[in-house]
Structure 1
Amino acid sequence: MNMWSRHFRWLSTSVATNRKNNMGWWDHVQPAPKDPITSVTQAFLSDPTPFKLNLGVGAYRDDKGKPVTLECVRRAAEKISDCEILESTKATTKSKFVQDCVKLAYGNDSSVVREGRFAGVPALSGTGACRLFAEFQRRFYPNSQMFLPMPTWSNHHDIWRDSQVCTRTYHYYDPDTKGLRFEALVNDIKNAPDCSFFLLHPCAHNPTGVDPNYEQWKEISHIFKIKNHFPFFDMAYQGIASGDVERDATAIRIFLEDGHLLGCAQSFSKNMGLYEHRVGCVSSETSRPLVFFLETSIVSRDDKQATAIKSQLQRIVRAMYSSSPVHGPLLVSTILNDADLKALWEEEVKVMVDRLISMRITLRQTLEELNSSSSWERITKQVGMFYFSGLSPEEVNQLQRDFHIYMTNDGRISMAGVTRSNVDYLASAIHEVTSVNNSNCIDSKHFEFVV
């Protein structure tokens, strides 16, 4: 027996022994709770019924219920198809992408942009951007908390929890009026400890579709200034609220005009349809003194402070995922720096939003024509990707059981999943489950599903 044969025999015996000895390593691991959003799609796919609706998806769909590749993205992809991405140019590409993101969020004419008073890094879409900031917060303010609106995107709680940052909630949505609980929101901001971290949705609040108006944002900014709070904006839907990417950045620009330091997470999954590319950015404006917890102060030194913050973000990235992809950011930068492509993108965003608004109008009209006892005006008053219906978990379960209509348990309806061919079916089903005397056992065959 030669050396290699003896070595192989020893290796095989060693592996077999280890397998035997280590069989109990993971016996204590239990299945994780189902994600409230992704589990909707899993249940939908498991349903063998041919006539079913998935209203849980958070990405845009066309009027045939199909994912959309924007024409501006196609053209940008063609434009860069022959570009050779060299190792030496990757850093420049990512740096340019961050600049473009900041301009889009803060405004081309912002002094923050002109003076370079920001630190930012590419992130793995909005989730990655939030996680980066949560980790940054934990490292430099370990005793701090993050205040989250109630309700908010369910993943926010998990992101800050897994970063070992405690979370608290502040009032936001009123289930009775299906609108903003502005007075309670203001009181919570006032009563929070000075120098607290708050997460804010600048537009198209997920899941409620309820946004503060201009005057309310001004008042919120004013109170933040008095309390010296730090605002962190999660901007996943720029352009999807109003159809205007500039208008949807109003909240952030109000805070900048009022002299706040702030953080911002950006994603291009929804407004450019780049969900699978995981394109995002996290940035922070760094210009003025800011006092945080424990009476510790950070005095901004312009580009020096920006450089320090950026280096720390890069250090977190290095340990978390080392490096972000280049192709997605290059697509975004190509679109934002080409006047024709950017104009086309803005036009396509408007088309997407117009379809969502059209479906809101049609759904409301159809429900009202059914003489429902409920009020449906909030369908058209809410904005963005979702309609926060106020349906109870029991009604949501009934829609799934009797009509094969799938949505999150809190009644969030993705308007992107509503089309001209299924809106009547959806309205009839909602009317049926919300009727006072519904039988709780309904035959969906009585309803027409147009295909």
Structure 2
Amino acid sequence: MVFVVHFLVLLWFILMIDLPNVVREYLPMGGSVKMVDESLKLAYGENSELIKDKRIAAVQALSGTGACRLFADFQKRFLPDSQIYISVPTWSNHHNIWRDADVQQNTFRYYLPETRGLDYNGFMEDIKNAPNGSFFLLHACAHNPTGVDPTEEQWREISHQFKVKGHFAFFDMAYQGFASGSPEGDAKSIRIFLEDGHPIGCAQSYAKNMGLYGQRVGCLSLVCEDEKQAVAVKSQLQQIARPMYSNPPVHGALVVSTILGDPELKKLWLNEVKGMADRIIGMRTALRENLEKIGSPLPWEHITNQIGMFCYSGLTPEQVDRLTNEFHIYMTRNGRISMAGVTSGNVGYLANAIHEVTKSA
């Protein structure tokens, strides 16, 4: 509640000051320059040489979905015969985005049902077997829907293999800060790829980590060879945005740029993001402990090994149906639990219900 109140007060403050000006003016096609600049610092680092050298082409986007769509259209326009490799499973809308941009899709192995963890060997094999110079859609942190992330060592090996094959990594970073509680830590995968000299792309969203779901605030950025190329790429991204939605909305961008551009507000935001992440991590621990205390014979380590807002529980569609029909507990039929909906008040009931439907498993 404190988190929500802070942002409502801040939004009111911004509107009272800036409303007379902003309602009469459009943002440029590339969006708020200040918001974009602050977003790049968050994704690439405060002292990033790429930012200093002006090697990043970036525009404000309609949250993470819009950033992905802009990139998909950019990919189709300039590399019409290319394809995108998408993890199995992934956020279902990823397939819709690249499909509607008319980009051919392929998949790579990611999740191993037997361990409810990463299929690292399958992932690496598919990276090696993909044609040189392929595009891969990667989740920067808190993989949706599984909550399964590679370790830092595994990310380094993945980055190395991308270098060998000349693959292009496009990171969807929808949950920066919501995985570990540290935006810096959650950008580690991106930083590893940058250290290895990859020209990556990144989609950022402020829906979750700032609660700006309805404001649709995000950023698309692409690392380029030099400043000249970055200027050209940004120009083309704006040309794609122009007939699609013309200009991005302003109020959410003002919230983001005001918070990230003010040291005190940013410190407050970082503390609250950590509080939200810690609460979710705590609920993971509580759910696992409750299941083990009940005496469930099944392994539940994956609940605490996974990270982020979602837990890939391993429940079957039939077990999920029983949870819905018998216990009025609702989740997607693939067994994905939204950990943000688990509280100290309902975690015991949830654990008992899960135990009941998995007794015969």
Common fold: TM-score over 0.5 = yes
Q: Secondary structure at the match of 1:218?
A: helix
> Which residue number corresponds to residue 341 of structure 1?
265
Q: Secondary structure at the match of 1:398?
A: helix
> Which residue number corresponds to residue 279 of structure 2?
355
2:86/2:106 contact within 8 Å kept: yes
Extract unaligned runs of 5+ from structure 1: 1-61, 288-301, 438-451
> Which residue number corresponds to residue 240 of structure 2?
316
Find the aligned partners of 2:263 and 2:230 in 1 and give their Cα distance. 29
2:174/2:205 contact within 8 Å kept: yes
1:152/1:207 contact within 8 Å kept: yes
Runs of 4+ in 1 over 4 A off after TM superposition: 86-89
How far 1:398 sits from its partner (Å)? 1.1
Which of 310, 323, 348 is the equivalent residue of 1:399?
323
2:223 equivalent to 1:266: no
How far 1:90 sits from its partner (Å)? 3.3
How far 1:89 sits from its partner (Å)? 8.1
> Which residue number corresponds to residue 16 of structure 2?
81
> Which residue number corresponds to residue 90 of structure 1?
27
1:73/1:335 contact within 8 Å kept: no
CA RMSD, 1 decimal: 1.7
2:27/2:249 contact within 8 Å kept: no
How far 1:354 sits from its partner (Å)? 1.1
Q: Secondary structure at the match of 2:27?
A: helix
CA-to-aligned-CA distance 1:383-422 (integer Å, 9 cap, x gap) = 1001100101111111111111111111000000111111
2:202/2:221 contact within 8 Å kept: yes
Q: Which amino acid aligns with 1:360?
A: R
Which of 97, 102, 116 is the equivalent residue of 1:159?
97
1:233/1:263 contact within 8 Å kept: yes
2:137 equivalent to 1:199: yes
> Which residue number corresponds to residue 383 of structure 1?
307
Find the aligned partners of 1:88 and 1:430 in 2 and give their Cα distance. 53
How far 1:77 sits from its partner (Å)? 4.1
Find the aligned partners of 2:31 and 2:255 in 1 and give their Cα distance. 10
* Gap change, CA 1:244 and 1:73, over 3 Å in 2: farther
Find the aligned partners of 2:248 and 2:360 in 1 and give their Cα distance. 53
Q: Secondary structure at the match of 1:396?
A: helix
2:179/2:308 contact within 8 Å kept: yes
Q: Which amino acid aligns with 1:178?
A: R
Find the aligned partners of 1:69 and 1:145 in 2 and give their Cα distance. 40
2:72 equivalent to 1:134: yes
Extract unaligned runs of 5+ from structure 2: none
How far 1:80 sits from its partner (Å)? 5.2
Find the aligned partners of 1:167 and 1:418 in 2 and give their Cα distance. 35
2:349 equivalent to 1:428: no
How far 1:166 sits from its partner (Å)? 1.2
How far 1:358 sits from its partner (Å)? 1.2
How far 1:193 sits from its partner (Å)? 0.3
Q: Which amino acid aligns with 1:78?
A: F
Find the aligned partners of 2:182 and 2:40 in 1 and give their Cα distance. 17
Find the aligned partners of 2:331 and 2:351 in 1 and give their Cα distance. 14
How far 1:93 sits from its partner (Å)? 6.6
* Gap change, CA 1:77 and 1:257, over 3 Å in 2: farther
Residues 158-197 of structure 1 aligned to structure 2 (within 5 Å)? 158-197=96-135
Find the aligned partners of 1:396 and 1:254 in 2 and give their Cα distance. 38
CA-to-aligned-CA distance 1:137-179 (integer Å, 9 cap, x gap) = 1111111110011111011011101111111110111111111
Q: Secondary structure at the match of 1:69?
A: helix
Find the aligned partners of 1:249 and 1:125 in 2 and give their Cα distance. 17
How far 1:73 sits from its partner (Å)? 5.7
Find the aligned partners of 2:272 and 2:98 in 1 and give their Cα distance. 34
Q: Which amino acid aligns with 2:297?
A: S
Q: Secondary structure at the match of 2:107?
A: strand
Q: Which amino acid aligns with 1:316?
A: I
Residues 201-216 of structure 1 aligned to structure 2 (within 5 Å)? 201-216=139-154
Find the aligned partners of 1:428 and 1:117 in 2 and give their Cα distance. 53
Which of 51, 61, 69 is the equivalent residue of 2:4?
69
TM-score normalised over the length of structure 2: 0.96
2:174 equivalent to 1:236: yes
Q: Secondary structure at the match of 1:90?
A: coil
How far 1:68 sits from its partner (Å)? 5.7
Which of 305, 310, 315 is the equivalent residue of 2:229?
305
Find the aligned partners of 2:84 and 2:8 in 1 and give their Cα distance. 35
* Gap change, CA 1:386 and 1:169, over 3 Å in 2: same
1:93/1:330 contact within 8 Å kept: no
How far 1:85 sits from its partner (Å)? 3.1
1:76/1:335 contact within 8 Å kept: no
1:70/1:273 contact within 8 Å kept: no
2:171/2:201 contact within 8 Å kept: yes
2:137/2:171 contact within 8 Å kept: yes
Residues 114-125 of structure 1 aligned to structure 2 (within 5 Å)? 114-125=52-63
Q: Which moved more, 1:86-95 or 1:112-121?
A: 86-95
Give 1 or 2: higher helix fraction: 2
